[in-house]
Structure 1
């Protein structure tokens, strides 16, 4: 790990040297922006970790979370030579593709996606993992775990379960390297959402998949997930399809897609198409139920019940905590935000105020709840683009009642 630690140091020194130079010339960026750019240069482990930490407004100031949210943007693709090397290793006897594009149609921190054609002319999507990325990410995560263990010993951080939180993040991040697992997740999502109207997941082609290569059906005529020239009723229906699909994941199936940003969500005729099942997390039944109980309490304006769920699910409630004052704060927050439409309600400020309450009373949220929160936070902006009048709390109630009865 010493070699990777040295690489961290070199990248960090170069980046901070440039940042200091800009500060001296009065062209400095905010510290949070400097750190976000540094995470991008340190590699995919830090990019994904930054994305997840950007949802933890109970641990980080809002301005930091806003900057870290920028890590969801498109990253530079691997070169055609790098992609060819991965494909040659995966298919030593020759690829099943008669032709494959040299330029990717999409690119992320872990893989790039190319359009290809099988020998019978069938078009497919080929997801190619960046070469050598697995060992690098594991070394990074081991170093981060060691660092988190040291930070937990500091007086101000002894109540923050940093190593445990990092453990949950690490498991989710490393799972994205496993394309066999992603193929299984695609199949499971297709089965789970089969009865959600006009919601489509691409089918993997397991016989063609290899370590580091995931082959899926090619879905043509995809449009960006934007309102475009859709009328009001079309936008309304699309939002409800997406919400019902997400609520099905969160509250019924527990297999949650945490990366539903514009790079993975598309429109096709009357369908909503969800691509890429790399960052899919399975919620434990007790986590799923607690999150459902909180969401139902919020949706029905029951602030006291919402506060009780938070206390039951908390990682840490300090001795002597003024529980009644905390409950009063949650009741007020829920009442003020009850039955607001998408145009009147913002999940991020709501979550920030809730987490500030927890931080003020020394209550630490369980790390597992970062994943359902991330799923909803990623979606929120797109929902507002389509239909500011949707009452997303009310839309969840039928699914919640059926789940919790």
Structure 2
């Protein structure tokens, strides 16, 4: 467990949190079983209860922020889950219950207790409310309109307890005979640790500035400017962007929808293949339209900096997949593997991946299923004893979230072809301040 997680986790509190999670899960499981039984008695399929999105929202909300994050990501997968599930789950992006006003007021006052109060006006009623933070509109002393993102009081302790609980669950899973080959500890350290780092608002302010600089040449993508002098470890202050609408097809015409899809993909590919700075949480609560149908990215809490070796390997894998070169894709995975089992069947893996790439190469978004591709890739690795660097999960997560939204805008866009122009620059160092054509 990272030192930041270990520091605030105490055994009595952890036991109480574990008991609460267990009670909530068992209670909802019992209710779900009862609903399924009742459905069967009425002659309806028992699986109807599983497609009750409202029930899942209540469960995830009761479990808390770590689990709400899972629901937010699942809400984007309208291609994999029925609307009855994804519709209610989408409310998790910005409809969390706000903390008590006095707690927020106390948290903000404490954050600035050692400096001059920087605001001429502060709206204590939040304009948005997420699982980790609330967002407030304020005015600085020099008259600038800003958004103030405030970390929820007490949220750090709860999320670190959840990290410890899932770590223990992973350790138990690793003892099962069928799962002993899986590097659960390393995977949890990387992925779970990345989620936990969303508590670090100093890092989020830095990520906002980095994304803003990296995407500056994209005239149709805007990242709000952070105000570093006003930010603290619990608070991010950034420019306020007015007139935003949710990232949904709505009444946009076909040409605008196609342009939006290509703008999103171009920005994502720039992050993945050139910058190595990956936004893993571009769900509709973090991505909006401005008045000109330009894209606005409002949040940078779940942003990961890929090691350069991982960025290059993932880029090389993607371009060879687009070219239909399954053998080279397999070799890239083999060369970048974090763990190779003693009984690894390299030839079996190469053969299976060549077949998978041949099936997927050049498919349109309506035909190419990234979730299915990733699932089959991971299954090949598991079956043949070859495990990639855990950091590979982050670019895949980013693409999976975006894929779920893109399908609603333009089912005909070619994911792989849109990536090729960016991939050609994958090994070209970025010139600081460059605004070269992209």
Question: In which range does the TM-score fall when normalised by the shorter chain?
Answer: 0.7 to 0.9
Give unmatched runs, 5+ long, in structure 2: 1-10, 39-45, 75-79, 429-438
Residue 4 of structure 1: aligned partner: 14
- Of 180, 201, 214 in structure 2, the residue corresponding to residue 192 of structure 1 is 214
Residue 99 of structure 1: aligned partner: 121
Give unmatched runs, 5+ long, in structure 1: 55-61
Residue 244 of structure 2: aligned partner: 222
1:389-400 equivalent positions in 2, closer than 5 A: 389-400=412-423
Q: Is 1:41 aligned to 2:51, yes or no?
A: no
After superposition, the CA RMSD in angstroms is 3.0
Residue 148 of structure 2: aligned partner: 126
State the shift of 1:284 in Å: 0.3
State the shift of 1:399 in Å: 1.5
- Of 245, 264, 268 in structure 1, the residue corresponding to residue 286 of structure 2 is 264
Residue 376 of structure 1: aligned partner: 399
Give the conservation status (yes or no) of the 8 Å contact 1:128–1:213: yes
Give the conservation status (yes or no) of the 8 Å contact 1:348–1:377: yes
Q: Distance in 2 between matches of 1:310 and 1:192?
A: 28
- Of 95, 99, 106 in structure 2, the residue corresponding to residue 78 of structure 1 is 99
Q: Is 1:251 aligned to 2:252, yes or no?
A: no
Give the conservation status (yes or no) of the 8 Å contact 2:149–2:235: yes
Query: How many residues are matched?
Result: 396
Partner SS, residue 229 of structure 2 = helix
TM-score (norm 1): 0.87
Residue 177 of structure 1: aligned partner: 199
Q: Distance in 2 between matches of 1:32 and 1:363?
A: 37
Q: Is 1:359 aligned to 2:370, yes or no?
A: no
Partner SS, residue 341 of structure 1 = coil
State the shift of 1:68 in Å: 11
Q: Is 1:23 aligned to 2:33, yes or no?
A: yes
Q: Is 1:339 aligned to 2:362, yes or no?
A: yes
Give the conservation status (yes or no) of the 8 Å contact 1:302–1:334: yes
Give the conservation status (yes or no) of the 8 Å contact 1:297–1:306: yes
Deviations along 1:270-291, one digit per CA (max 9) or x if unpaired, are 5211111111000001110110
Q: Distance in 2 between matches of 1:345 and 1:194?
A: 30
Partner SS, residue 424 of structure 2 = helix
State the shift of 1:131 in Å: 0.7
Q: Is 1:117 aligned to 2:139, yes or no?
A: yes
State the shift of 1:171 in Å: 2.7
- Of 229, 232, 240 in structure 1, the residue corresponding to residue 262 of structure 2 is 240
Q: Is 1:314 aligned to 2:337, yes or no?
A: yes
Q: Distance in 1 between matches of 2:32 and 2:71?
A: 23
Give the conservation status (yes or no) of the 8 Å contact 1:347–1:377: yes
Q: Distance in 1 between matches of 2:410 and 2:17?
A: 46
Give the conservation status (yes or no) of the 8 Å contact 1:256–1:375: yes
Deviations along 1:87-131, one digit per CA (max 9) or x if unpaired, are 121233774333333432322221111222234543211101011
State the shift of 1:193 in Å: 1.0
Partner SS, residue 315 of structure 1 = strand
Structure 1 residues 36 and 356, CA gap change in structure 2 (3 angstroms): farther
Structure 1 residues 168 and 67, CA gap change in structure 2 (3 angstroms): farther
Structure 1 stretch displaced more, 99-108 or 202-211: 99-108
Structure 1 stretch displaced more, 247-256 or 4-13: 4-13
Give the conservation status (yes or no) of the 8 Å contact 2:71–2:92: no
Q: Is 1:279 aligned to 2:302, yes or no?
A: yes
Structure 1 stretch displaced more, 147-156 or 77-86: 147-156
Q: Is 1:201 aligned to 2:211, yes or no?
A: no
Deviations along 1:345-383, one digit per CA (max 9) or x if unpaired, are 221122122222223323333311111011001101221
